[in-house]
Structure 1
Amino acid sequence: MNLLQEMEQLLLDGDADALQHKVQKLQADHEYDALYDVANLLIDYGFIGQADDIFAQLLLVFPDEAQLKIDRAAALVELGEEDDALLLLTDIKEDEEEFVQALLAQADYYQMLGFAETAIAKVREAAALAPHEPVIQLAQAELLLDSGRYSEAVRIYNKLHETNDELAGVSITSRLAEAYSAGAAYEEAIPFYEELLKQEENPEELFGLGLAYYQTERYTDAISRLEQLLEMDPDYFSAYMLAGQSYAQQNEDEQALKLFKKGIERDAFDKELQLAAGKSALKLQLPEQAESHLREALVLDPEYIDALVTLASLYNQQEEDESLLDLLSYAEADQLEIPLLHAFSAYAYERTEDYKKAYEFYLKAYDGMKEDADFLDQYARFLLEEGKPSEALPVIQQLVVVDPQAEEWMAYVDAQSEEGV
């Protein structure tokens, strides 16, 4: 058993004292190469602090050794001592062989801190010094992808893909699919996803391809891939939503509702699936099911605006005014200034003959509903019935702008003009 194997066994046995004794002996015997190997072994097993101690001691002996500076900097970053790490990296001079490696390490440092542009600048500096080094090109593409500069990343990945399907453990094909999709170039992403799935089927790429098909309106292909994914992994919840939406886009609402319900069976706490099921049930004229799903979505998130508006719309259509006003009381309590909800309140109060409240909510809704002809029509009629013709006229004038085919109201405006009102 060689030295590293002995050290590894001590690590596995958890014999810290024996391990420390061996390290001290190596130091005493000036076995610097062995110490370096032990430090890297310690890093492999997660003993970063102990490895850093060794690197620090080695740097006392070899203060100008650039590789040691890079290795210790990596350890310091892991220990949360980023500033000390950067000092070591910037101490490596441009004429040293490891300078390019130091630039890449600095790029990792700045990326970790969220300084994407500085990180990219460091990688570009490295690329200028080693323009034909694929690993550096890959590092640049990875940073560009991470910072949302998808077209630039795609250009580099495509160049790498000409000679490499995989580089440094990274699938270039996978990165191209990801980068094209992230940049909304779904048509371009499809062949790369298909290429990946020929090699090996896995959930992430099946979903990526399903999404690309959906975004390019190939809904049947999307459904096929997403249902294949759900057979492989029934707990891939996003696939239920996307498959259901694909069915809905083809007006197959029964199948859509079925998919949403299957997803809810696996995860009843997914508010988006509850909302989607509620909307599908509405399209299928199943108001009780719709109400159940929408209420469940609001239980999961009382501030879920889309579910609140959809349920309020259902109650308004069915003129369930008590339920509607009860629901909208929560919106009022949360001071949600949503014109459509104010309009629903106005309709409900008008139907229940609370005209003072109806007037109050019509006023609240008006500014945000000026482009809704149905609202303007109902508001105008309300004002006229309440004996407020001077207030009704500007509403009617706005209505005929929005809907020039509203002949009844056109005639009203003309009549008022002739009377000089």
Structure 2
Amino acid sequence: MFEKLEKAIKLVENGDISEGINYLHSLKQIANHEEKIMIADLYLKWGFLDEAKEIVIELLELYPDEGQLYIYAAEIEIEQENEVEALDYLDEIKESDPAYLQSLVIMADLFQMQGLDEAAEQKLLKAKVLAPDEILIDLGLGQFYADIGEYKKAIPFLNKVIERKEEVDSNAHLLLADAYVHIGKFEDAFVHYEEGLKDNIELNALFNLAFTAFQLERYEYAIGKWNELKELDPEYIPIYLYLAKAYEHEGVVEESYNIIKQGLQIDPDNKELLVYGGKMAMKLKKHDEVERYLSKAIEIDPGYIDALSLLSSFYLYNEQYEEIILLLEKAIADGEYDPQFEWDLANAKKQLDLYKEALNHYENAYTSFKDSKEFLEEYGYFLLEEGDREKAKAMFRKILEIDPANIEIEEELMRLEQW
């Protein structure tokens, strides 16, 4: 029979699917019970679920206490997206059955798919009690806790898998690396990303390896890995923003700007790339490009605070005070708000001699910037110009609380106190 099954397999693998399946149908008529399970396996593998189910149900009627048959039946129901029926089959397996452990793991997967995390955890922990040294249970628990964001719980189980020094799936290293990243242990994450990528390149893991290097300020290494990933998949968009940031950290601003332009060729409406492009254009004094990038980002997302704030600071640098007012007052009217808007509007209106309005914005900004020396100094001198010496002195005193060595402010305060 094995040779006949091999013939069916070869027919399907060679593309003669219809002939292979028909041949398998004919074998079903002469197969014994053990051989029928092998045929059901092939049906399941090739997606002929109804044919597989027919065999398994037939055998279950003959062997109602055979746990492995219930496993087969449950797997078929899962493939057909009948989770409730799958659980019913798994519930039939007795604790004394060798298939019981496997049933607990499958149940845990099903419960997790349904969002029943507590029930899934209970099944896995029960499996751990029954088979405390089973490496696949440790891997399952590690995966489960990582999936629900309990990274500190995941780490001991994943470490146990790796410490066994058996044939370890690279996935265990990558899961462990991800868990370490989420709790901020980047050095440990870096080691396991490298280990997990030794024999198999997985794009997300390669990105995460580079990101971990970036967090560790190993910018040159990160650049190398992100460029490697860019060669493998030029349309992997997250690369471009972080690669640009890494180049900026290395002081290669022109290359950072070029990387952003490459990313925007693939995804021209990526607002994060547009804002970073504006930032790099500002550093390179490409003023026309700054406004073009940032205006487009705001057009895509009128409430994008980073774009609004950066464009406002650009206008401030270029003394375009009317543009600041138009930009930020429209944003506020549209329901967008950031305390920096108040400070920028105060500055712009002060420059345009709109002192009452400027004062109102400074007062609104004060709550958010009362610990900023730069704001307190600007606000203090504005108050002084407006004749409010007492309030100006209060601002200067606050500066000295923050920075007692500020001689210029100390002298200004002394002059005011002598009046």
The TM-score with structure 1 as length reference comes to 0.82
Matched to 1:231, the amino acid is E
Alignment match, 2:290: 290
Q: How far, CA to CA, are the matches of 1:197 and 1:105 in structure 2? A: 28
1:7-406 equivalence runs, <5 A: 12-13=17-18, 36-48=37-49, 51-52=52-53, 55-56=56-57, 58-161=59-162, 162-167=164-169, 171-195=171-195, 198-199=198-199, 203-389=203-389, 391-406=391-406
Do the aligned partners of 1:278 and 1:289 also contact (CA within 8 Å) in 2?
Answer: yes
Q: d(CA) in 2 for partners of 1:247 and 1:360?
A: 41
Q: Quote the offset at 1:218 in angstroms.
A: 1.6
Unaligned runs of 5+ in 2: none
Return closer, same or farther for 1:272/1:37 CA change in 2, 3 Å cut-off: same
Moved more, 336-345 or 112-121: 112-121
AA at the equivalent of 1:250: E
Structure 1 segments unaligned to the other structure (5+ residues): none
| Alpha-carbon distance change, 11 to 398 in structure 1, aligned in 2, over 3 angstroms | farther
Q: Give the letter for the 2:113 counterpart.
A: M
Residues 268 and 66 of structure 1: CA distance in aligned 2, closer, same or farther (over 3 Å): same
Deviations 1:303-339 (A, max 9, x none): 2222221111111222211221222133212323311
How many Å separate the matches in 2 of 1:232 and 1:415?
A: 66
Shift of 1:38: 4.8
Question: How much does 1:79 deviate?
Answer: 3.8
What amino acid does structure 1 have at the position aligned with 2:121? I
Question: How far off its partner does 1:269 sit?
Answer: 2.4
CA RMSD after TM alignment: 3.7
Judged with a 3 Å threshold, the aligned counterparts in structure 2 of structure 1 residues 240 and 77 are, in CA distance, closer, same or farther, namely: same
1:86-124: CA deviations, max 9, x gaps?
333233222222211111111112221234444233223
Secondary structure of the residue aligned to 1:93 is coil
Of residues 326-335 and 183-192 in structure 1, the stretch that sits farther from structure 2 once superposed is 183-192
Give the secondary structure class of the aligned counterpart of 2:311: helix
Structure 1 Cα separation of the partners of residues 409 and 174 of structure 2:
60
Once the two structures are overlaid, the 10-residue window that deviates more, 5-14 or 307-316, is 5-14
Structure 1 letter corresponding to 2:241? M
Question: What letter corresponds to residue 368 of structure 2 in structure 1?
Answer: G
Partner secondary structure for residue 268 of structure 1: coil
SS in 2 for 1:275: helix
Distance 2:272 2:41 in 1: 47
After superposition, the Cα gap between the structure-2 partners of 1:367 and 1:204, relative to the gap in structure 1 and judged at 3 Å, is closer
Question: For residue 336 of structure 1, what is the amino acid of its counterpart?
Answer: E
SS of 2:165's partner is coil
What CA deviation, in whole Å up to 9, does each residue of 1:160-200 have, x standing for no partner? Answer: 33433445xx6444444444444433323334444455545
* DSSP 3-state at the match of 2:166: coil
Contact 1:316–1:348 (Cα < 8 Å) also in 2: yes
Q: Whole-Å Cα distance in 2 between the matches of residues 157 and 392 of structure 1?
A: 60
Distance in 2 of aligned mates of 1:49 and 1:370:
71
- Deviation string 1:335-359 (CA, Å, 9 cap, x unpaired) is 2331111111121122222333323
In structure 1, C-alpha distance between the alignment counterparts of 2:324 and 2:312, rounded to whole Å: 6
Tell me the secondary structure at the aligned position of residue 163 of structure 1: coil
Q: Matches of 1:97 and 1:320 in 2, distance apart?
A: 77
The 1:149–1:32 alpha-carbon spacing in structure 2 relative to 1, beyond 3 Å, is same
Bigger Cα displacement from structure 2, 366-375 vs 189-198:
189-198
Partner Cα distance (2:37, 2:404) in 1: 83
**Residues 257 and 280, structure 2, Cα contact 8 Å, conserved in 1:** yes
Change (3 A) 1:259 1:135: same
Q: Provide the aligned length of Structure 1 versus Structure 2.
A: 413
Of 142-151 and 7-16, more deviation after overlay is shown by 7-16
Give yes or no for contact 1:165–1:172 (8 Å, CA) kept in 2. no
Percent identity between the two aligned chains: 32
TM-score with structure 2 setting the length: 0.82
CA distance in 2 between counterparts of 1:320 and 1:49 reads 72
CA distance in 1, matches of 2:199, 2:412: 71
Deviations 1:225-267 (A, max 9, x none): 3223323333233222222222222222222222222222333
Deviates more, 1:276-285 or 1:173-182: 173-182
Q: Is residue 49–residue 79 contact of structure 1 (8 Å, CA) maintained in 2? A: no
